[in-house]
Structure 1
Amino acid sequence: MSDTNSDAGADGPLGGLFDGLSRRSSDLLLVFGALFAIYALFTIFVFGQGINSVVSTLRFLTFLILVYGMLALALNLHWGYTGLFNIGVAGFMAVGVYTMAMLSGDPAGSPPGLGLPVPIGIIGGMVAAALVGLVAALPALRLKADYLAIVTLGLSEIIRLTYNSEAFNQWIQGATSTITSRVGFLPDGGAGTGAGSGIQVPSPAGPVRTLFFEGGRAGNPTPLGDAVFAVTDPIGIQQNVVVEWAYVLVLAVVLLGFYWLLSRIGNSPFGRVLKSIREDELVASSLGKHVEIFKVKVFMLGCALMGLAGILWQGSFGFVSPNDFMPVVTFYIFVAVIIGGSGSNTGSIIGSILFVGLLFEGPRRALGALGNRVDFGRAPNSFGDAVAPILSGDITPFFAYAVANRSALVFVLLGTVLIIIIQTRPDGALGGRNEPAAAVDLSTRPEKQPTTATDGGENQ
C-alpha cells in the first residue's frame, strides 16, 4: 500500500511540479545556450578591436534580441495563441511611440509636447495602441486568415501615412491646443506629430542615465556611477557603453515580464479559450464562448504590448519618424516567430536570438569583418558580373560584391532561409511545442484502477 501511495504521489502534484521545473530548466538552457553561441560568434567578428568594441557590439546585439523578443511574444499572443493573423505590428508600435512623444515631449520643442512625466506618456502610449487595436478589431475580426492580414497591413500603412501627413500634424496640434487651453496644468500650444520631419521622443532610457550621472548629463557621475566607472574605466570600457548596458538590463526585466504575463494568460481559463479558438473557432462558439469578445480583448492586449515594445525600442533613440515603421519591421518580427515556432513563448525568444544573430546582424558583421581583413579589390557593378567569374574558378569578384552590398544581400538570405524552414521544419526550431489548450498535461493522467464487481469479476 505504501508503494502504491508513493507512486501516486510521484505522479501527483509534486510530480507535476518537478516536470514543470525540469521543462523550465530545459527552456533556460536552450535560451542561454543559443545566446552564448551568438555572443561567441560576434566576439570573433570584432576580435582584435579592443574590449570596448566587443562590449559595445554585444550590447547592441542584446538590445536587438530583447526588443525583437518582446514584439515576437506580443505577436505570439495574437498568432500563436489565438490564430489571429496580424501583420500590422509596426503600426501599433508607431501609435505607442508617437502618443508617448506627444504626451511627454518638451512644450517648447518643435513639434511641441504636453510635458507630462515619462511614465504617464508610456502608459498613455499603451492605452492608445490598445484603443487603436479595438477600432481595428471590431470590423476586422469578422474576417479570417488572409483577409484579416490584409486589413491589418492596410491599417498599419494608414497609421504611418497619417503620421507623415502635415495636414494631420496641424489638425492634431490645433485640437490639443484647444483642449490644453481649458486645462490649467497643461501648457498652451498643444502637441503635434512633426509630420515627415519626425518627432523628438523623451527617451525611456533617461531615468537609467540619471542613476549614473547627476541630471543625466555625462561628466558629473553619481556615487553609483563613480563606483561602477572605477571598475570599467581602467579596462577600457567607455562610460556611455556602461549606461547603455544598464538600459539593456531594464529591457531584460521587461522581457521577463512579457514572458511571465503570457505564461499566466496561457494557463488561465481565458488562455484556454484562446487556444480553443485557435484550434477550432466553431467548437469554441458552440460551447457558449463569445468568440468575438475574446478576440477583441486579446487583440487589444497584444496591441498594448506592441506599443510598449515600440516605446522601449524606437523611443530610446530620442527621435522617430514615420519611416521607422515600414511594413518590413512587421516582416522581421514574423520571421523571428516562424523560426522559433508559433505558439511557443520560449520559441519566440529563441527565434529572436537566431534571427538577430544569424540572419539580421550576423551576415552584415561577418562580411564587414571579412572585408576589413581581406582586400578583394573593386566590387563589380552588377550581380551578373560578380557571378560570371565563378565559372572560371575566380570567386574574388563575388566576395567583393557581397562585401559591398551586404545590406541588400540580407534580404536574399532571409528569403532563402524562410523557404528552407517552411519546407523542412514548418513548426520552427521548437516545432510542435505550441501551448496545449488544457492547463494540465493530459498525457500523464494516471491509469484508472480496476474495481471489483459484485459478481467477483473486475470492472474496467
Structure 2
Amino acid sequence: MSDSTTQDALDPLRRVFANDAAKVAAMFITIWAVFYAFGNHLGYGNSGMLALVRRVTFLAAVYGIVVLALNIQWGYAGLFNIGVAGFMAVGAYTVSMLSSSPAGTPPGLGLPLPVGILGGILAATIVGLVAALPALRLKADYLAIVTVAISEIIRITYNSPAFADVTGGARGFGNLPISPVNHLLLSDPSDPFSEPNAFGEALFSFGAEYGIRQFAVVNTLYTIGVLVVLLLVYLLLERTGKSPFGRVLKAIREDETAAQSLGKDTQNFKVRAFALGCGLMGLAGILWFAMGPRASVTPVTFRPNITFYIFIALIIGGAGSNTGSVLGAALFASLLFEAPPIIRSIIRESFDVAASPANLIEALVPIASGNLAPLAGFMLGNIDTLRFIGMGILLVVLIQRKPDGLLGARKETAASVSLDADTRPSSTRGDATAAADGGETDD
C-alpha cells in the first residue's frame, strides 16, 4: 500500500480525533475496557466489575472537575495555587454544616441540599476572593507559599478542638447530607435501608436481574450525576476561555506588563479568576467527600498531597487546555492511582510470588544468585509506596521531556471568531482581487 493510500485511509480517523469530545470519549471507553478486563481476570461478578469501573469513573470525574478549576488559575492566568485542598475543604465542610441533620454530631442546620451546595460553592469563592486580595500582589514562589499556608490554616482551623462543636474537630462530620440519589430512589431519603419508590424499585429490579446489588446501583447513579457536572464545568470553562475575559487571562499569563499597557486592570482579572477557580474547587470537594460514596469529611482528608495529585494530573494533560485537564485527570486516576493495586492482585493470583522481604537489602541480596522472587515480592508488597515514587519520577520526566503535557501546546488564536473565512462584503471582494492581480481600484 502506497503512502498516499495510507494517508487517505487515516484522514477520516484524524478528522474524528481532531474533535475534543472524541478524544475524551475514546479515553473513557479505553479505561472502562481495561478495568473491565481486570475485573474479569480476577473473577469478579457483574456487581464487582460494575463497582470497579464505577470507582475509577468517579475518581476520574471528580479529579477532572478540580483539575479544570486549577486550570483556570494556573493554565489560563498563570496563578500558582498550591492550596487546592483547603478550598475543597471549605466547600465540603460548609455543605455539611448547612445541610446535615440537626440531630447529628456535630449538628447541622438541616437546610435543603441545594441551599447547602450553593452555600458551599459561595463560601469557597468568598474565601478564595479574600485570600486573593493580598496574595495576588505576590508572584511565583511567594504566591505558592501563601496559598499553601492558607490551605493549612483552613485545615488546622477545622481540626481545632476550639471549633469542635461546629466542625467536629478531628472527627469531622459523622452525619453527612443526604445524597440526591436517595431522594430519587428511596421513599425515605433519610434512611438508606428504607423501601424504594416506584423508580427505585424498577431500577433495583433491573440490576438484580444481572446480579448487581442495591448499593452498587445507587453509587453508579451518583457517578453518572458527577459525570454530568464534569461536562457542565467543562462547557463553562470552554466558554470562559474563548470569551474576552479568558483572552485577557491568557494575555496576563504570557506577559502581564503588556496586558497592563493595553489598559487592562490585571489585578482585577486575576482576583476574579482565582475566586472562580476556588468556587469550583469547593464544588469538587462537595461532590467528592460530602456526598460521594466515600462520605467522609475530616481534616486529615484535605492534606496537601491532594494538591500534589491534582498538579500531576494537570501537567499530564497540559496546562491551558480544558480537554487536556480532563484527559490528564482520567489517566492519573486510572493508570497511576487505581491500576497498581489491581495489577498487584492479578500478579499474585497468576504467579507464585514469595512473601515480601522485611527490607530492600533482603530483596536485593538474592539477585546475585539469580533469584528475583524476593525482589518481586518486595515490590508488590510496597506497591503503594512505589506508586508515589513513580509519580515523582513521571513528574520529573514530563517537565524535562514534555513540559506542555499531552494537549498543552496547541495554538490559540487571539480572535474570538475564525479568521479563515473571508468576511468582507461581496461588493469589495472584486476590487480587492483586481488590486491583488495588479489592477487599480477606484478611490
TM-score, normalised to structure 1, is: 0.85
Q: Is 1:255 aligned to residue 250 of structure 2?
A: no
The one-letter amino acid of 2:435's match is T
Deviation at 1:421, TM superposition (A): 1.5
Q: Paired residue for 2:134?
A: 139
Deviation at 1:294, TM superposition (A): 0.8
* Residues 324 and 312 of structure 1: CA distance in aligned 2, closer, same or farther (over 3 Å): same
Partners of 1:273 and 1:437 within 8 A in 2? no
The one-letter amino acid of 2:24's match is V
Provide the rounded CA distance (Å) in 1 between the counterparts of 2:235 and 2:17: 12
* Per-residue CA distance 1:299-358 (angstroms, 9 max, x = gap): 111101100110010112333110000000001011111000010000000001111111
Match of 1:396 among 373, 376, 384: 373
* Residues 61 and 434 of structure 1: CA distance in aligned 2, closer, same or farther (over 3 Å): farther
Partners of 1:364 and 1:407 within 8 A in 2? yes
Q: Paired residue for 1:164?
A: 159
Q: Paired residue for 1:90?
A: 85
- Say which SS state the counterpart of residue 19 (structure 2) adopts: helix
* Residues 132 and 219 of structure 1: CA distance in aligned 2, closer, same or farther (over 3 Å): closer
Q: Paired residue for 1:309?
A: 284
- Say which SS state the counterpart of residue 452 (structure 1) adopts: helix
Provide the rounded CA distance (Å) in 1 between the counterparts of 2:19 and 2:336: 25
List aligned pairs for 1:263-412, cutoff 5 A: 263-316=238-291, 317-412=294-389
Match of 2:31 among 27, 38, 45: 38
Determine what percentage of the aligned residue pairs are the same residue: 49
> How many residues are treated as equivalent by the alignment?
416
The one-letter amino acid of 1:331's match is F
Provide the rounded CA distance (Å) in 2 between the counterparts of 1:323 and 1:290: 39
Unpaired runs of 5+ residues, structure 1, are 1-21, 174-191
- Say which SS state the counterpart of residue 211 (structure 1) adopts: helix
The one-letter amino acid of 1:214's match is S
Q: Paired residue for 1:3?
A: none
Deviation at 1:244, TM superposition (A): 0.7
* Residues 331 and 444 of structure 1: CA distance in aligned 2, closer, same or farther (over 3 Å): farther
Partners of 2:100 and 2:108 within 8 A in 1? yes
Partners of 2:188 and 2:194 within 8 A in 1? no
TM-score, normalised to structure 2, is: 0.88
Deviation at 1:24, TM superposition (A): 8.4
Deviation at 1:34, TM superposition (A): 1.6
Deviation at 1:37, TM superposition (A): 1.7
Provide the rounded CA distance (Å) in 1 between the counterparts of 2:321 and 2:330: 14
Provide the rounded CA distance (Å) in 1 between the counterparts of 2:439 and 2:22: 53
List aligned pairs for 1:412-423, cutoff 5 A: 412-423=389-400
Provide the rounded CA distance (Å) in 1 between the counterparts of 2:287 and 2:388: 26
Q: Is 1:121 aligned to residue 116 of structure 2?
A: yes
* Per-residue CA distance 1:139-197 (angstroms, 9 max, x = gap): 1101111211111011111111111111233xxx5xxxxxxxxxxxxxxxxxx001112
Partners of 1:273 and 1:284 within 8 A in 2? yes
Provide the rounded CA distance (Å) in 1 between the counterparts of 2:142 and 2:20: 35
Match of 1:28 among 17, 21, 24: 21
Deviation at 1:219, TM superposition (A): 5.2
Deviation at 1:130, TM superposition (A): 0.9
Unpaired runs of 5+ residues, structure 2, are 1-14
